[in-house]
């Protein structure tokens, strides 16, 4: 990370909405993504370089980039310059094969850990797929682990809960914990992070959203900290620190946000209003289908090598253009500043196709960000970028 100033100690006014303000005075900053590498931007490139929807990204100690594309059951590997290296795994039910990848991670020993939802097992690849072993999911957790992150000599997984469906007579997760701590052999140690700490489970839409794979953005420092940010962002991040065998939680207050991050929409309103249909999300669960217009999103959260936390957000007003804004927290969890997100390429900033589809998927040991975005021609690509923070 680069900064144009020493110690880091636009507010988006949304029509018809009231903003809540942080309790401390934070600086106004600017955040610029300088693209260093783009993979998948050439439609005429070989198929190995093209993506439908790059969903999961990780890197290893050698700088190799591991990418899972949503419609595939394998992992493609690129070197630090973006050159294709190999493909790990393939579709199938046999050893070393996968059917539906829902989680992927590369640990400190450069082992690739892949979670397969349908086969209900982890496959742990080493030596770029030359060797592998398998481990079944924990029997008492009928859900899918997404994502997988490393701590020091352990893993933390977020298990997405399966719904209680009596007709199927299948087991499901009955606890209210959202994170599960595993040892290096993928044996369960403990569960922590109550859903009720993060979501208002009394609201039907929010309760339904909490059970989806996309409900939370997650980051780790790779040692003892996990940061969770609700994708439907309410202005708070949650940092969990492992101390003395237990997990302590801190609620970190971000910058100005809409008083309500979403507006529930009835089925009647949804059916009658095409604009709401285009701008709302719908979630189905055992209690029915819930719709909501979303005003504030988290596009991803990362922990820098300095220990600072960066949360990338997008606000979608009732009227007017969307706004991208980034929040920077210091190591103590105090908001230092916030401001707009831009690319150094003005052509990208002017492209609605690009700016409406940005997600921060990963950060490597050199603080390079791995960004899923659309090209100006409308297809998805993977961008590797440096984040530069400064005064506007």
pLDDT digits (tens, 9 = 90+) for 34-43: 999 999 999 8
The pLDDT of residue 300: 98
- Residues 179-191 have pLDDT tens digits of 999 999 999 899 9
* Number of neighbours of residue 214 by Cβ within 10 angstroms: 13
On the question of pLDDT at 235 being above 80, the answer is yes
- In the chain, the percentage of residues whose pLDDT exceeds 70 is 88
- Residues 133-143 have pLDDT tens digits of 999 987 666 67
Task: For residues 153 and 185, give the distance between their C-alpha atoms in angstroms, rounded to a whole number.
Answer: 10
Highest mean pLDDT among 22-26, 34-38, 160-164: 34-38
Strand pairing category for 323-329 and 380-390:
unpaired
Question: Coil, strand, or helix at residue 316?
Answer: coil
28, 326 Cβ separation under 8 angstroms: no
Nearest to 260 by CA among 214, 294, 230, 228: 294
- Residues 62-97 have pLDDT tens digits of 999 999 999 899 999 999 999 999 999 999 999 999
**Residue 97 β-bridge partners:** 90
209, 198 Cβ separation under 8 angstroms: no
pTM: 0.89
The pLDDT of residue 4: 37
165, 219 Cβ separation under 8 angstroms: no
On the question of pLDDT at 335 being above 80, the answer is yes
Task: For residues 137 and 239, give the distance between their C-alpha atoms in angstroms, rounded to a whole number.
Answer: 26
The pLDDT of residue 20: 47
The residues, ordered by sequence, that sit 6+ positions from 224 with a Cβ below 8 Å of its Cβ are 151, 152, 241, 242, 243
Task: For residues 9 and 24, give the distance between their C-alpha atoms in angstroms, rounded to a whole number.
Answer: 10
Task: For residues 205 and 227, give the distance between their C-alpha atoms in angstroms, rounded to a whole number.
Answer: 23
19, 11 Cβ separation under 8 angstroms: yes
User: Which residue intervals of 244-374 are DSSP H helices?
Assistant: 267-272, 274-279, 346-349, 352-355
Task: For residues 329 and 284, give the distance between their C-alpha atoms in angstroms, rounded to a whole number.
Answer: 35
Task: For residues 64 and 6, give the distance between their C-alpha atoms in angstroms, rounded to a whole number.
Answer: 32
The pLDDT of residue 45: 93
Task: For residues 88 and 86, give the distance between their C-alpha atoms in angstroms, rounded to a whole number.
Answer: 7
The residues, ordered by sequence, that sit 6+ positions from 160 with a Cβ below 8 Å of its Cβ are 143, 144, 145, 146, 211, 212, 213, 215
Task: For residues 222 and 149, give the distance between their C-alpha atoms in angstroms, rounded to a whole number.
Answer: 8
Alpha carbon 346 to chain centroid distance?
26
């Amino acid at each position: 990370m680069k900064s144009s100033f020493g110690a880091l100690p636009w507010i988006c006014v949304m029509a018809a909405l009231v903003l809540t303000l942080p309790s401390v005075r934070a600086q106004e900053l600017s955040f610029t993504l300088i693209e260093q590498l783009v993979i998948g931007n050439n439609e005429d490139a070989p198929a190995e370089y093209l993506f439908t929807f790059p969903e999961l990204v990780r890197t290893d100690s050698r700088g190799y980039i591991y990418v899972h594309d949503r419609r595939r059951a394998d992992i493609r590997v690129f070197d630090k310059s973006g050159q294709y290296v190999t493909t790990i795994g393939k579709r199938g039910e046999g050893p070393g094969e996968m059917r539906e990848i829902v989680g992927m991670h590369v640990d400190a020993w450069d082992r690739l850990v892949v979670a397969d939802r349908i086969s209900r097992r982890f496959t742990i690849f080493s030596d770029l797929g030359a060797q592998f072993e398998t481990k079944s999911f924990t029997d008492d957790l009928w859900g899918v682990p997404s994502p997988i992150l490393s701590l020091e000599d352990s893993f933390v997984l977020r298990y997405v809960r399966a719904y209680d469906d009596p007709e199927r007579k299948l087991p499901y997760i009955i606890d209210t914990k959202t994170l599960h701590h595993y040892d290096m052999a993928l044996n369960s140690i403990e569960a922590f992070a109550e859903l009720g700490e993060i979501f208002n489970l009394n609201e039907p839409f929010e309760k339904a959203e909490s059970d989806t794979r996309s409900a939370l953005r997650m980051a780790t420092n790779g040692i003892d900290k996990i940061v969770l940010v609700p994708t439907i962002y309410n202005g708070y991040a949650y940092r969990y620190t492992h101390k003395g065998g237990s997990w302590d939680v801190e609620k970190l207050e971000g910058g100005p946000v809409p008083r309500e991050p979403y507006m529930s929409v009835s089925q009647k309103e949804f059916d009658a209003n095409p604009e709401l249909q285009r701008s709302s999300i719908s979630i189905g669960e055992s209690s029915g289908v819930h719709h909501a217009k979303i005003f504030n999103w988290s596009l991803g959260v990362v922990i820098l090598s300095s220990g600072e936390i960066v949360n990338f957000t997008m606000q979608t007003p009732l009227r007017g253009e969307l706004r991208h804004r980034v929040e920077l927290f210091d190591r103590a969890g105090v908001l230092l500043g916030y401001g707009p997100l831009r690319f150094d390429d003005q052509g990208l900033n002017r492209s609605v196709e690009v700016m409406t589809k940005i997600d921060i998927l990963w950060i490597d040991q050199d603080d390079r960000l791995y960004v899923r975005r659309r090209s100006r021609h409308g297809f998805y690509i993977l961008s590797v970028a440096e984040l530069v923070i400064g005064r506007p």
